[in-house]
Amino acid sequence: MLDFKENFLIFFLYSLKKIRVGREKIKNKEQPPHYLMRPEVYYLLSQSQNSLVDSIYKNGAGKKGFVCWFTGLPSAGKTTVAQKVFEILKDRNMLVEMLDGDDVRQSLAKDLGFSRQDRDENIKRISFVSKLLSKNGVGVIASFVSPYKSQRDEVRSRTENFIEIFCAAPLEVCEKRDAKGLYAKARRGEIKNFTGVSDPYENPESPEIILETHKETVEESVKKVIQHLEEKFKHVQS
């Protein structure tokens, strides 16, 4: 028969082990076991604005990073929809970052052109940044033509929670929009390797989301993306 002291020691050691297990879980962005913290409490804490809680659960920890990857022909509506999604998530105090083709071509990929090799290198660099961000709990909103399936699959395999969003407006619509006047230049032969005109675009085979940006309004497209995120991630609630 164990005496009181021995019972107490066993209980104490058992509690320490439980706390260690709980800490590990939180560190791995998983919910601690129910006997340590009720799910409602964990959820409330992980959503709280309290600065102490923030340092534990926010700044990445406790949140799932993801990559919303908008792909499609030039002028298909990638940037337009991505920008609005980004603003909505930011307004919800989420950790988000936007990576857009035009900005990246002016900075991270300034030295690259539009040959197949350079396009692959461009996506490799973006993939590297997206991987770092998503791994640390950031929601990445990325908008790139990314015409080749192999490029998109590579990003999918390297990043956390990759969501492929196909802006499916057909060539005729995109060319008519010609938001930057580049189709006209490409048709006049002033730009080489222009996707849709003199370079291929491989349609995604099974994207998570298809946006029919030629049939729906910008608001409808944005809503589709936000709804998908809300269903998939608890921390994207409004």
Ligand X SMILES: Nc1ncnc2c1ncn2[C@@H]1O[C@H](COP(=O)(O)OP(=O)(O)OP(=O)(O)O)[C@@H](O)[C@H]1O
Q: How far apart are CA 67 and CA 208, in angstroms?
A: 12
Give the one residue of 28, 107, 217, 238 binding ligand X; rule: CB under 6 A. Answer: 217
Which of residues 31 and 221 has its CB atom nearest to ligand X in the complex?
221
Give me the least distance between CB of 145 and ligand X, in Å please: 5
Which of residues 26 and 142 has its CB atom nearest to Mg ion in the complex?
142
From residue 41, give the alpha-carbon distance in Å to each of 33, 35, 93, 142.
12, 12, 20, 33
> Is 79 an interacting residue with respect to Mg ion (CB under 5 A)?
yes
Q: 3-state DSSP call for residue 139?
A: strand
The stretch among 68-76, 90-98, 114-122, 153-161 that binds ligand X (CB under 6 A) is 68-76
Which of residues 53 and 218 has its CB atom nearest to ligand X in the complex?
218
Give me the least distance between CB of 136 and ligand X, in Å please: 26
Which of residues 94 and 211 has its CB atom nearest to ligand X in the complex?
211
The stretch among 20-28, 35-43, 183-191, 214-222 that binds ligand X (CB under 6 A) is 214-222
Residue 88 and residue 222 in contact, taking contact as beta carbons nearer than 8 Å:
yes
> Is 118 an interacting residue with respect to ligand X (CB under 6 A)?
no
Size of residue set near Mg ion by CB under 5 A:
2
Residue 32 and residue 62 in contact, taking contact as beta carbons nearer than 8 Å:
no
27: tokens are 């560190």
Give the one residue of 26, 42, 68, 75 binding ligand X; rule: CB under 6 A. Answer: 75
Place of tokens 């709990």: 137
Q: Is 15 a catalytic residue?
A: no
Give me the least distance between CB of 224 and ligand X, in Å please: 10
Give me the least distance between CB of 178 and ligand X, in Å please: 9
Q: How far apart are CA 10 and CA 234, in angstroms?
A: 37
Query: Minimal CB distance to Mg ion: which residue?
Result: 79
CA nearest 197: which of 72, 73, 101, 71?
A: 73
Residue 73 forms beta bridges with which residues?
Answer: none
Please list, in sequence order, all residues whose beta carbon lies within 8 angstroms of the beta carbon of residue 174, skipping any fewer than 6 positions away.
72, 73, 74, 75, 76, 183, 196
Which residue out of 146, 198, 206, 221 is catalytically annotated? Answer: 146
- Annotated catalytic residues are 146
